[in-house]
Amino acid sequence: MAPLSSPVHPATSLVSDPHSYAGQGSQRVRHLRLHLAVDFVQRTLAGTATWLLAEPTATATAGQPRETSLVLDTRDLLLESVSLGEAADGPAAAYTLGEVDAVLGQALRMQLPAGTAAVTIRYRTAPSAAALQWLEPAQTAGEFPFLFTQSQAILARTWLPCQDSPGIRFTYDATIEILGPERGQLLALMSAENPQHTAADGRYQFRMGQPIPAYLMALAVGRLDFAPLSERTGIYAEPATLARATYEFADLEQMVAAAEQLYGAYKWGRHDLLVLPPSFPFGGMENPRLTFVTPTILSGDRSLTSLVAHELAHSWSGNLVTNATWNDFWLNEGFTVYFERRIMAHLYGSTYADMLQVLGEADLHHTIGELGATSPATHLQLHLAGRDPDDGLNDIAYEKGCLLLLTLEQLVGRPRLDTFIKEYFARFSFQSMDTTTFIDYLQRELLDSEPGLTERLDLGAWVDGPGLPANAPVARSARFEAVDAVLAQFNSRTPAAALVPTTAEWSSHEWVHFLQGLSPTLPAAELAALDAAFHFTASGNAELLAAWFPLALRAGYAPADAALTQFLLHVGRRKFLVPLYRALLATPNGRARAQEIYRQARPNYHSVATSTLDALLA
Ligand code: BES
Ligand code: ZN
């Protein structure tokens, strides 16, 4: 196993973060010692957070010790005490709580006497804490309650008073104590070194020895089993789901090995996956050492595993080199999408990765169309001050960011780009990166090396310009060209049934491309013929269903209604929910129907999803 590297001084960012109050204080945190009790009855986490400070002995220039200040982000936390030192019963610290801001929460400002090395906060979370989802047994695959966190972008502060800025990193250790009669059957996991077995007393210890930003703090508690895949990879899932998951993710070790070959050693020790219940609001979340994934990628045919490659790639782009603020989000996601597709090409060939690239570009054009071709929301560099980052982060960072790297690849060649990326990850490991610093670095290391490169790339158009710059390459997929031929046959009235033999070997990607290529206004009778031939409504593939349901809704194809309702009631993944509710709203009487489904489904959704959907369905 690769040795763990632990830098002595976690770097902090010099750029100011509009989504955190932490920069208002002079002190930065360095290490967290967390003790929390998990109470499924009260739906609270309660305990203490001890923060060790980065510069405990700060002195003034004259050599006189001086007071320092520490500012933490909090939102909806109930603070019970704030003490100096490492114990909750230490001397009281002088503190104030700032105004409540609906998005940012409240600043917790502390004035610290010279020489203060730590502060300890005793607190509890609100049952409605936005990062937390508390699930009833019926919302899981088993008979036990479940809890998980989702901290990105700025929700860590709803379960931990912290410096909730991606430019500030800390190490941590934690003790999690599960309360209640079922505690002996529940396992707790974090973005840290994790247990592999349930403890009879419900107490678990964790350690994260590499400095991470607060948005990568994660906790999950549930009836979970572990199955190893290799020395350093494995799967945690509910018992009823574990076998399907180990089948689906069988290539995880090969993905890690491919990623290391591309861009350098994996720095986090183990790389495990946790399969969550279906209400998880995202596809995946790159919590260090323990990626969280949605069960909607358990398609049974290993067709949706690029998501696992994506979260793995974040172990470099994002978790090692971290966007300094949410305005620089494309540095996390654009690199990660590019890296994800390189991993997939390495394992399954470039014809496979080409399909992903074409689908990604189709999504990008769709998003640009929705946002408007001249919208500043289509720039890579964002300006999210004063807004909820959760509303401002969109597909652009992912696919336009990836296309910028593909443009560079075309200009300098893959070997040179690979050397650049590998050095970039090594040079800025455990540090944060903002767009301006990245551009300077790129200029120096790559663009200046060859006359004319700077002009041909035209970074300004990419970073601060709208839509897609003219020099963006357009992907082609040989496998999709075969799909296009079938689409042409279908459009020239070849009966669907006659197309079955040609499509027998298609993956879900080909099917998604096929569905996206159909006329959006096909009448119900044609959809019925397609459904009879290809069984879309009965598919177990969530991506395919998400492409099929809008066609069915638009045509009023009633046989898909029950499957759509079931999907909306069980799946909490926002990427699927938003377009499906929108498609439902656009049908005759759609609002009433959407609202009725939403009323039933809402208790199953995480706050990340309901905050978007409430606005849509109000
Ligand atoms: N880090 C993101 C998820 C995220 C982004 C959470 C912004 C909160 C705010 C994760 O890596 C991601 O991108 N997930 C995607 C899947 C991916 C394959 C595009 C998702 O959840 O759909
Ligand atoms: Zn991502």
Told to judge if 557 belongs to the known catalytic residues of this protein, a careful annotator would answer no
Confidence at 618, pLDDT banded by 50, 70, 90: confident
Q: Is position 310 within any domain?
A: yes
Q: Is position 256 within any domain?
A: yes
Q: Residue 260 pLDDT more than 70?
A: yes
Regarding beta strands 431-433 and 321-323, do their DSSP bridges make them parallel or antiparallel, or are they unpaired?
A: parallel
Cα(335) to ligand 1 centroid in Å equals 13
575 lines ligand 1 (CB under 6 A): yes
Report the chain's mean pLDDT, rounded to a whole number. 95
The ligand that comes nearest to the alpha carbon of residue 612 is 1
Per-residue model confidence as pLDDT tens digits over 279-304? 999 999 999 999 999 999 999 999 99
Residue 62 pLDDT: 60
Cα(286) to ligand 1 centroid in Å equals 8
DSSP three-state, residue 106: strand
| Residue 212, both tokens | 């991470």
Q: Which domain holds residue 373?
A: 224-476
Cα(332) to ligand 2 centroid in Å equals 7
CA angle 23, 24, 28 (to 5 degrees): 50
Q: Residue 5 pLDDT more than 70?
A: no
572 lines ligand 1 (CB under 6 A): no
**Residues facing residue 97 across a β-bridge:** 108
Q: Is position 495 within any domain?
A: no
Average pLDDT over residues 532-561: 98
Total domains, the chain = 3
Q: Is position 141 within any domain?
A: no
Q: Check whether residue 52 and residue 88 sit in a common domain.
A: yes
Q: Check whether residue 362 and residue 262 sit in a common domain.
A: yes
Q: Check whether residue 96 and residue 231 sit in a common domain.
A: no
| Residue 344, both tokens | 């997939």
Regarding beta strands 29-39 and 169-178, do their DSSP bridges make them parallel or antiparallel, or are they unpaired?
A: parallel
Cα(360) to ligand 2 centroid in Å equals 13
Q: Check whether residue 591 and residue 545 sit in a common domain.
A: yes
Distance from C-alpha of 358 to C-alpha of 32, rounded to nearest angstrom: 43
The ligand that comes nearest to the alpha carbon of residue 284 is 1
Nearest Cα neighbor of 288 from 140, 158, 169 is 169
Q: Residue 238 pLDDT more than 90?
A: yes
The ligand that comes nearest to the alpha carbon of residue 287 is 1
Q: Check whether residue 457 and residue 597 sit in a common domain.
A: no
Question: In a mutational test of the pocket of ligand 1, which residue from 155, 274, 282, 293 has the highest number of ligand atoms less than 8 Å from its CB?
Answer: 282
311 lines ligand 1 (CB under 6 A): yes
Average pLDDT over residues 310-320: 98
CB of 295 within 8 A of CB of 277?
yes
Q: Check whether residue 160 and residue 256 sit in a common domain.
A: no
Residue 392 pLDDT: 85
Q: Check whether residue 53 and residue 197 sit in a common domain.
A: yes
- Of 49-63, 91-105, 236-250, 257-271, least confident by mean pLDDT is 49-63
Q: Is the peptide bond before 153 cis (omega within 30 degrees of 0)?
A: yes
Per-residue model confidence as pLDDT tens digits over 424-473? 999 999 999 999 999 999 999 999 999 999 999 999 999 999 999 999 99
Distance from C-alpha of 618 to C-alpha of 598, rounded to nearest angstrom: 10
Residue 4 pLDDT: 38
**Residues facing residue 322 across a β-bridge:** 432
Residue 14 pLDDT: 58
Per-residue model confidence as pLDDT tens digits over 326-352? 999 999 999 999 999 999 999 999 999
Q: Check whether residue 358 and residue 434 sit in a common domain.
A: yes
Pick the atom of ligand 1 nearest to 311's CA.
11
Cα(22) to ligand 1 centroid in Å equals 25
276 DSSP 8-state letter: P
Q: Is position 139 within any domain?
A: no
DSSP three-state, residue 130: coil
Average pLDDT over residues 158-169: 98
Q: Which residue has the CA at smallest separation from atom 14 of ligand 1?
A: 284
Cβ neighbours of residue 439 under 8 Å, at least 6 residues apart? Answer: 459, 463
Q: Residue 385 pLDDT more than 80?
A: yes
| Higher-confidence position of 9 and 102 | 102
Question: HSE on the CB side for 405, CA within 13 Å?
Answer: 28
Average pLDDT over residues 593-616: 96
Q: Which of 123, 398, 581, 598 is catalytic?
A: 398
307 lines ligand 1 (CB under 6 A): yes
Residue 63 pLDDT: 64
CB of 557 within 8 A of CB of 551?
yes
153 lines ligand 1 (CB under 6 A): yes
From 217, 235, 259, the end of a domain falls on: 217
- Of 8-22, 73-87, 199-213, 578-592, least confident by mean pLDDT is 8-22
Q: Check whether residue 243 and residue 368 sit in a common domain.
A: yes
Residue 178 pLDDT: 98
Give pTM, 2 decimals.
0.97
Residue 579's CATH number: 1.25.40.320
Residue 617 pLDDT: 94
Residue 78's CATH number: 2.60.40.1730
420 lines ligand 1 (CB under 6 A): no
Q: Which of 238, 248, 311, 340 is catalytic?
A: 311
Q: Is position 492 within any domain?
A: no
Cα(32) to ligand 2 centroid in Å equals 25
Q: Is position 483 within any domain?
A: no
Residue 6 pLDDT: 35
Residue 67 pLDDT: 87
Pick the atom of ligand 1 nearest to 340's CA.
18
Nearest Cα neighbor of 275 from 138, 185, 148 is 148
The ligand that comes nearest to the alpha carbon of residue 384 is 1
| Residue 452, both tokens | 């004319």
Q: Check whether residue 66 and residue 101 sit in a common domain.
A: yes
Q: Check whether residue 80 and residue 54 sit in a common domain.
A: yes
Q: Check whether residue 374 and residue 471 sit in a common domain.
A: yes
User: Alpha carbon 307 to chain centroid distance?
Assistant: 10
Residue 1 pLDDT: 33
Told to judge if 311 belongs to the known catalytic residues of this protein, a careful annotator would answer yes
Q: Is position 146 within any domain?
A: no
Residue 57 pLDDT: 66
